């Protein structure tokens, strides 16, 4: 049985992860982490959904020495600290946080030489299938079709475009032999001139409690193809994260993503 540690236990995603772990007979909730200033410290990790877990929320990362896998969907600054603690204590990591800089991603890759990490901007099974579909579509629609990516999330999301939108853009660009960094357009305003056919555009929507919507639009002359994924519950990300944790059970080190977990490549 895998001993699981959850980071950001008092947050919306943390609640979904805790509930999913407590309902999975193959997993054991070993510990629940939160920030040092969290009002949830000392409270039962299952209290938010009316269940006694026997695990008190703590900010002490020493608990990672008892864990097999940490699941982290927090923010970049906290995630880098958790990454260092995982490396110190030999705990594997499922990392779903988004918004990392290039330098931070390099640190994650370096840590993967010592511990096994699944690093993915979206743990949803459906989204990861969408990534494959986008690659296939981009290869077929490589000429005469403009690619636009539209994403929507709740008002609390702090990064834009979403990590998932960027991953979809990378999938399309890769299929076309392009570098997303060279062809992405993240905003349009004023007199922009005609659209450059080699670009991939992004549009971001923030509002309400939208869990996560992503559409990749291939717009040609006389027709459009739209590939869309809509998440209605964070449970889909939690279930994907548990699959990733189980995947890491047999790994000593290395950097993986959900395409590896789901055997999609």
C-alpha pair distances (Å), 238 with each of 24, 71, 235 = 11, 9, 5
Q: Is 157 a catalytic residue?
A: yes
Closest to 159 (Cα-Cα) out of 261, 232, 76: 76
Q: Which one is catalytic: 153, 214, 246, 251? A: 153
- Give 224-231 contacts, CB < 8 A, sequence gap 24+: 225/137, 225/141, 225/145, 227/130, 227/133, 227/134, 227/137, 229/124, 229/126, 229/127, 229/130, 231/124, 231/126, 231/127
Q: What is the CA radius of gyration of the chain?
A: 19
Q: Which of 56, 157, 246, 251 is catalytic?
A: 157
153 as an active site residue: the answer is yes
**Integer Cα distance of 149 and 166 in angstroms:** 9
Determine the straight-line distance between the first and last CA of the chain, rounded to whole angstroms.
Answer: 28
Please answer whether residues 110 and 80 qualify as being in contact, where contact means their C-beta atoms are separated by less than 8 angstroms. Answer: no
Q: Let me know: does 70 contact 83? Beta carbons within 8 Å.
A: no
| Angle, alpha carbons 257-80-251 (nearest 5°) | 40
Distance CA 129, CA 122 (A): 11
Name the residues annotated as catalytic.
Answer: 153, 157
């Amino acid at each position: 049985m895998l001993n699981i540690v959850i980071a950001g236990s008092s947050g919306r995603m943390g609640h979904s992860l805790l509930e999913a772990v407590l309902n999975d007979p193959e997993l054991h909730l070993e510990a629940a982490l939160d920030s040092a200033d969290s009002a949830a410290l000392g409270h039962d990790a299952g209290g938010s959904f009316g269940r006694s877990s026997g695990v008190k929320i703590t900010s002490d990362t020493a608990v990672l020495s008892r864990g097999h896998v940490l699941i982290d969907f927090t923010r970049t600054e906290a995630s880098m600290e958790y990454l260092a603690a995982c490396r110190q204590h030999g705990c594997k990591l499922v990392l779903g946080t988004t918004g990392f800089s290039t330098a931070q991603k390099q640190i994650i890759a370096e840590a993967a030489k010592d511990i096994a990490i699944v690093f993915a901007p979206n743990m949803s099974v459906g989204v990861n299938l969408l990534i494959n579909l986008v690659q296939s579509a981009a290869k077929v629609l490589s000429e005469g079709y403009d690619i636009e990516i539209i994403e929507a999330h709740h008002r609390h999301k702090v990064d834009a475009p979403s990590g998932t939108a960027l991953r979809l853009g990378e999938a399309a660009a890769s299929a076309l032999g392009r570098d997303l960094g060279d062809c992405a357009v993240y905003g349009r305003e004023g007199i922009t001139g005609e659209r450059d056919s080699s670009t991939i555009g992004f549009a971001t929507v923030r509002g309400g409690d939208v869990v996560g919507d992503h559409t990749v639009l291939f717009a040609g002359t006389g027709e459009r193809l739209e590939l869309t994924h809509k998440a209605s519950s964070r449970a889909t990300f939690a279930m994907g994260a548990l699959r990733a944790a189980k995947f890491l059970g047999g790994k000593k080190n290395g950097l993986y993503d959900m395409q590896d977990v789901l055997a999609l490549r």
